[in-house]
């Protein structure tokens, strides 16, 4: 059985090349969710993923699921739904509510990996200007959304939710179109799944993902609250 490093009080991580093949990408355990540690993790292609019954586990899978914003897939039915325009899109109006909605139990799962500790940590990073939410509203009701971390010109998606048909899909399309206009080359989706694949996610090697980190994660991009700038007709 392969062993992984246990993190100490510093905020450093082992080289991602040392991540395990099985389970894919498991790199280290321990440490905490201090915002400084979390931001350092994302800068190095690492993210936390664990549940209440585990220590904090840190991952860097190979391959990596990503979406190139210009290649987001919009089905005909989704495009038709968006053109109806009976909703509005915002950034950073309800960050904590979006995280809470993403943490809610799903029909296919008994628990959640978004613990109270994680919720608190990402809200702090949001206050620092590095974590952002995108909300889809129908009148005053939050019907879908997502959240993640932005460093330089890369967006690291964490989770999304939908309280109605297409809510999370609209959120992902809206995010991709806005990031495309801001010349972000990539949305990190971490681990592939059928839903993301249907929206245009592809898999790239860890080595190629590291090149994106080196080229784009350090570029200056305004922190603080984001504002959605596109009209609905511009995203289909």
For 31-55, the pLDDT digits (tens) are 999 999 999 999 999 999 998 788 9
pLDDT of residue 43: 96
The full length of the chain comes to 236
Q: Residue 50 is part of which domain span?
A: 6-60
SS3 content of the chain, % helix, strand, coil (to 5): 35, 25, 40
Together in a domain, 69 and 55: no
Q: Which residue in 208, 95, 187 sits closest to 142, CA to CA? A: 95
Q: How confident is the model at residue 108 (pLDDT cuts 50, 70, 90)?
A: very low
Q: Which residue in 152, 174, 184 sits closest to 227, CA to CA? A: 174
What proportion of the chain, given as a percentage, has pLDDT over 70?
95
pLDDT of residue 233: 81
Asked if residue 223 has pLDDT above 90, the reply is no
Together in a domain, 216 and 140: yes
Q: What are phi and psi of 58, to 5 degrees?
A: -115, 135
Together in a domain, 133 and 86: yes
Tell me if 190 sits within 8 A of 146, measured CB to CB: no
Among residues 14, 32, 60, which one ends one of the domains? 60
pLDDT of residue 120: 96
Among residues 26, 42, 60, which one ends one of the domains? 60
Asked if residue 183 has pLDDT above 70, the reply is yes
Whole-structure pTM value: 0.94
Asked if residue 83 has pLDDT above 70, the reply is yes
Together in a domain, 79 and 173: yes
Asked if residue 124 has pLDDT above 90, the reply is yes
Tell me if 157 sits within 8 A of 33, measured CB to CB: no
Q: Which residue in 137, 92, 101, 141 sits closest to 119, CA to CA? A: 101
End-to-end CA distance of the chain: 49
């Amino acid at each position: 059985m392969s062993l992984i490093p246990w993190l100490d009080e510093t905020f450093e991580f082992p080289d991602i090349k040392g991540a395990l093949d099985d389970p894919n990408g498991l790199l280290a355990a321990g440490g905490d969710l201090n915002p400084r540690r979390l931001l350092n993790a994302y800068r190095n292609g690492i993210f936390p993923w664990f549940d209440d019954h585990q220590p904090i586990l840190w991952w860097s899978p190979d391959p990596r699921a990503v979406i190139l914003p210009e290649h987001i897939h919009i089905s005909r039915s989704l495009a038709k739904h968006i053109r109806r325009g009976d909703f509005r899109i915002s950034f950073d109006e309800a960050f904590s509510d979006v995280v809470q909605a993403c943490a809610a139990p799903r029909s296919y799962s008994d628990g959640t990996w978004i613990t109270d500790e994680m919720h608190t940590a990402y809200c702090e990073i949001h206050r620092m200007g590095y974590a952002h939410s995108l909300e889809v509203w129908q009148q005053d009701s939050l019907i879908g959304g997502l959240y993640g971390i932005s460093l330089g010109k890369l967006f690291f998606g964490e989770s999304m939710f939908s309280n109605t048909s297409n809510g999370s899909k609209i959120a992902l399309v809206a995010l991709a179109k806005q990031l495309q206009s801001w010349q972000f080359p990539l949305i990190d989706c971490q681990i592939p799944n059928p839903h993301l694949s249907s929206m245009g996610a592809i898999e790239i090697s860890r080595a190629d993902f590291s090149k994106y980190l080196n080229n784009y994660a350090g570029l200056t991009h305004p922190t603080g609250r984001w504002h959605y700038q596109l009209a609905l007709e511009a995203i289909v």
